[in-house]
Amino acid sequence: MKQRAFPELEQLESIAARLGNRAHCEIVETVEHAGCRFPIHCLTLGSSAPNVPVLAYFGGVHGLEKIGSEVILAYLHTLCELLDWDEELNRRLSNSRLVFMPLVNPVGVFRGTRCNGHGVDLMRNSPIESDGNTRLYSGQRFSPKLPWYRGDESKMEKEAQALCRVVHRHLFDAPLAIAVDLHSGFGIHDRLWFPYASRQTPFPDLADAYALKQLFDRCYPHHFYKIEPMSQEYVISGDLWDYLYDDFTDRYRQRKLFLPLTLEMGSWLWLRKSPTHLFQRHGLFHPLLPHRQQRILRRHLTLFDFLFRCLLYPRQWAKLDTPQAEENQRQAMELWYG
Ligand SMILES: [Zn+2]
């Protein structure tokens, strides 16, 4: 399939080769486009036991926002090097698992399109219907030629199904699981979103999301993330994380926590400094200048490290069984739904 360069896929395969038997790498799906076959990889580091906490990273769901894939690949590169000598990291990984799907939509990343090869916006592709919202960007089923096309109602796209399979296999069984799905493009701030995307009602684990935010604010008072339910900004149909979260909640919520987060990197700031990039294909979603790209590749390492710590030491924030949980719920309602 490599008539044309696909640097992100080459980078992923090179990291997987360097990791060797220190990682488990598999092709969880293959999609075809224009006579070429594109693999979707899932790479895992750490314990393969079903009862360890899991932190998972997903990128390239919207192919045009390939900076998300690149941020994950840069993080994977760092982990790959650290594993050689950082005994503490090796110890952490003996009690936990990191899961990576950096190229969920390889055809989209390869072609520089938001949608997959069938014109489907994968983040509008689940059966979840939004709460009475009819804007075009919320998802439409008129035509794949228009943006935000939701695809066939009766069957999810192969890429979306592959993502769901990975979440089911690696995250649903875990006592605690955090997913981070990386996107870019909305606004000038970096946002960390939690459910719901489809409705403006609080999700059942609101108190935990609030406790996580409190902990982050306390430990990193100068961080720059706006942490909020996604529906505060806009409401969409077909969100894969709402779909997975609801599925998890029906089955397991009494016993464990699955927290899906979306990291929406605010790319309009990059444009403000270089407005002419708006007229280039990736301009609105990708930092085009090398120094700006490098800055984005290292910008989120503090967050990733914080989330890893939260995964390993959840007693301060997750599934609290104390009066503090009620207080967190009250404050969260006041902050986001007041
Ligand atoms: Zn996106």
Helix/strand/coil for 312: helix
Give me 83's structure tokens: 């594993």
Q: What residues contact 293, with CB distance under 8 A and at least 6 apart?
A: 67, 70, 286, 287
What structural domains does the chain harbor?
7-337 (3.40.630.10)
Listed residue (93, 87, 86) closest to 52, CA to CA: 93
Q: pLDDT tier at 132 (50, 70, 90 boundaries)?
A: confident
Q: Which residues, listed in sequence order, are joined to residue 258 by a DSSP beta bridge? A: 177
DSSP 45-86: EE---TTS-EEEEEE-SSTT-THHHHHHHHHHHHHHHHTTT-
Q: Distance (Å, rounded) from C-alpha 131 to C-alpha 235?
A: 8
- For residue 220, say if its preceding peptide bond is cis, omega within 30 degrees of 0: no
**Distance (Å, whole) CA 183 – CA 180:** 10
Compute the mean pLDDT over every residue in the chain, rounded to the nearest whole number: 93
Compute, in angstroms, the gap from residue 59 CA to the centroid of ligand 1.
9
Query: What is the chain's length?
Result: 338
Instruction: Give the model's pLDDT for residue 139.
Output: 94
Provide the percentage of residues in the chain whose pLDDT is more than 70: 94
pLDDT in tens, 272-307: 666 666 666 666 677 777 778 888 888 999 999 999
CA of 92 to the centre of ligand 1 (A): 31
Helix (H, G, I), strand (E, B) or coil at 291: helix
125 has a pLDDT exceeding 50: yes
Give the distance (Å) from ligand 1 centre to CA of residue 326. 33
From first CA to last CA, the distance across the chain in angstroms is 52
**Centroid of ligand 1 to alpha carbon of 82 (angstroms):** 30
316 close to 211: Cβ distance less than 8 angstroms: yes
How far away, in angstroms, is 185 Cα from ligand 1 center?
A: 7
Question: How many whole angstroms from 14 Cα to the centroid of ligand 1?
Answer: 26
Which structure tokens are listed for 127?
Answer: 């059966």
2 confidence band (pLDDT: 50, 70, 90) = very low
- pLDDT tens digits, 214-271: 999 999 999 999 999 999 998 999 999 999 999 999 999 888 999 999 999 998 776 6
Backbone angles phi, psi at 334, to 5 degrees: -65, -40
Query: How many Å lie between the centroid of ligand 1 and the Cα of residue 62?
Result: 5
Query: Which of 111-115, 150-154, 282-286, 332-336 shows the lowest per-residue confidence on average (mean pLDDT)?
Result: 282-286
Encoded tokens for 137: 């960007």
Ligand 1 centroid to residue 41 C-alpha, Å: 19
The Å distance, Cα 44 to ligand 1 centre, comes to 23
Q: What is the pLDDT of residue 279?
A: 64
pLDDT surpasses 50 at 12: yes
Give the residue-averaged pLDDT of 54-76.
97
The rounded Å distance from CA 230 to ligand 1 centre is 12
* CA 93-45-239 angle, 5° bins: 110
3-state secondary structure of 155: coil
Long-range CB contacts for residues 88-91, cutoff 8 Å, separation at least 24 = none
- Cβ neighbours, 10 Å, residue 59: 28
Helix %, strand %, coil % for the chain, to 5? 45, 20, 40
